[in-house]
Structure 1
Amino acid sequence: MNRRRALGLLVAALPLGACARRYSVAPDLRLSEPYVLAAGDKLRIIVFGQDSLSNIYQIDGSGRIAMPLIGPVPVGGLTTAGAAGAIEAKLRAGFVREPKVTVEVDTYRPFFILGEVTNSGQFPFVNGATVQTAVAIAGGFTPRAARDFAELTRRTPRGIVVGDVPITYPIRPGDTIVIKERWF
């Protein structure tokens, strides 16, 4: 049985929606989409005139931050502007008369790299990083590594997308990169 047919049988056996979509050119790995917040991001939140509420908050696994007075605020899947609006709405509901909130990402969630690199694992995200930069952070390629492309997995608002990308492709926080073994 060839590999493509075996993969088709494997996908057919899974429940609908249980597997990631796969693209050879990765059209859903767009960089033009705004950055959305997710678990692991740390946010610097400033509530003007309310120093006791201004702080750095980490988004938990359920996509929420816990703030004094207003409790948990769901911010996962929102942009920083959307998160500011959600916090302002909760504060306006009986706590602060005219809240003005600014939200910025203090620390991005890490990226992950696996496969034919010297040190696989989780690494802090660096702005402007590409797949090649991620490989350098992970200690470089092993002798058997395919050096011209990588498999990239990214969570998008439409679901998990997996695709092959060139080594110069920009990465985002939370991406998982797999460096494949080359065939001689």
Structure 2
Amino acid sequence: MRRLTLAMGVASVLLASCSGGPATQAPVVSASPPAYRLAPDDKVRVNVYNEEGLTGTYVVGSDGAVSYPLLGSVQAAGLTLPQLQELLTNRLRAGYVKDPKVSVDITEYRPFYILGEVNKAGQYPYRVGLTVDAAVATAGGFTYRANHRVVAIQHRNQPQEVRYKLEPGVQVLPGDTVRILERFF
């Protein structure tokens, strides 16, 4: 009986190692994107329950701040929406509104830019889930000289552009500059 139990234990270890058991599994990576951080040109909608004078749409200025009633200039650049909501709640609670119920939403993302070998280069409004293919379509499509294999994208606040293989699903983020390269024959 002991031999049978030992043999079954060895067999289960061997079976687990051959079938990709715990020792050979790859680590699980979260597929969720990083939290969106506010930057200049983003528009946010702030709602304060039962306080119409404090509810409205505000633009993050070039200095990264929002001009907000009663509070003045509130630094918003670099914050996530929940962080801005918490900041406004705490500052309003500190002497202006007894128990503020604040919510913050994005109403308009900062634009993206596309240039190079497209028919209508320029600035366009960002939409959630925007890909390079959709950005090119927004800009009137490729010119006849466009490189259909590689695209250069400079992310906002990054010193250099990054080149990506042009495949379906390459994401464009708010504030990105997309450059469609010229092909060489």
Common fold: TM-score over 0.5: yes
**Match status 1:163 vs 2:162:** yes
Alignment TM-score, normalising by the size of structure 2 = 0.78
Instruction: Please tell me the residue identity of whatever aligns with 2:85.
Output: A
**Match status 1:106 vs 2:107:** yes
**Match status 1:122 vs 2:126:** no
SS of structure 1 residue aligned to 2:110: coil
Instruction: Report the count of equivalent residues.
Output: 153
Q: Distance in 1 between matches of 2:165 and 2:45?
A: 33
Q: CA deviation at 1:62?
A: 0.6
- Residue 3 of structure 1: aligned partner: none
1:1-184 to structure 2, matched below 5 A, reads 32-155=33-156, 159-160=158-159, 162-167=161-166, 168=168, 169-184=170-185
* Structure 1: segments with no counterpart, 5+ residues: 1-29
Q: Please say if residues 45 and 104 of structure 1, whose CA atoms lie closer than 8 Å, have aligned partners that are also in contact.
A: yes
SS of structure 2 residue aligned to 1:77: coil
Q: Distance in 1 between matches of 2:164 and 2:52?
A: 45
SS of structure 2 residue aligned to 1:113: strand
- Residue 24 of structure 1: aligned partner: none
Q: Distance in 1 between matches of 2:138 and 2:58?
A: 27
Going by fraction, where is helix more abundant, 1 or 2? 2
Judging changes above 3 Å, is the alpha-carbon distance between structure 1 residues 53 and 114 closer, same or farther for their aligned structure 2 residues? same
Q: Distance in 2 between matches of 1:114 and 1:99?
A: 45
Q: CA deviation at 1:161?
A: 5.2
Q: CA deviation at 1:32?
A: 2.1
- Residue 19 of structure 1: aligned partner: none
Q: Distance in 1 between matches of 2:98 and 2:171?
A: 42
Q: Distance in 2 between matches of 1:142 and 1:175?
A: 21
SS of structure 2 residue aligned to 1:81: helix
Instruction: Please tell me the residue identity of whatever aligns with 1:177.
Output: V
Q: Return the structure number with greater relative CO, CA threshold 8 A, min gap 6.
A: 1
SS of structure 1 residue aligned to 2:53: coil
Q: Distance in 2 between matches of 1:123 and 1:73?
A: 27
Q: Distance in 1 between matches of 2:119 and 2:39?
A: 28
Q: Distance in 2 between matches of 1:81 and 1:160?
A: 28
Alignment TM-score, normalising by the size of structure 1 = 0.79
RMSD over aligned Cα atoms: 1.6
Q: Please say if residues 42 and 56 of structure 1, whose CA atoms lie closer than 8 Å, have aligned partners that are also in contact.
A: yes
* Structure 2: segments with no counterpart, 5+ residues: 1-30
Q: Distance in 1 between matches of 2:172 and 2:101?
A: 32
Percent same amino acid among aligned pairs?
Answer: 39
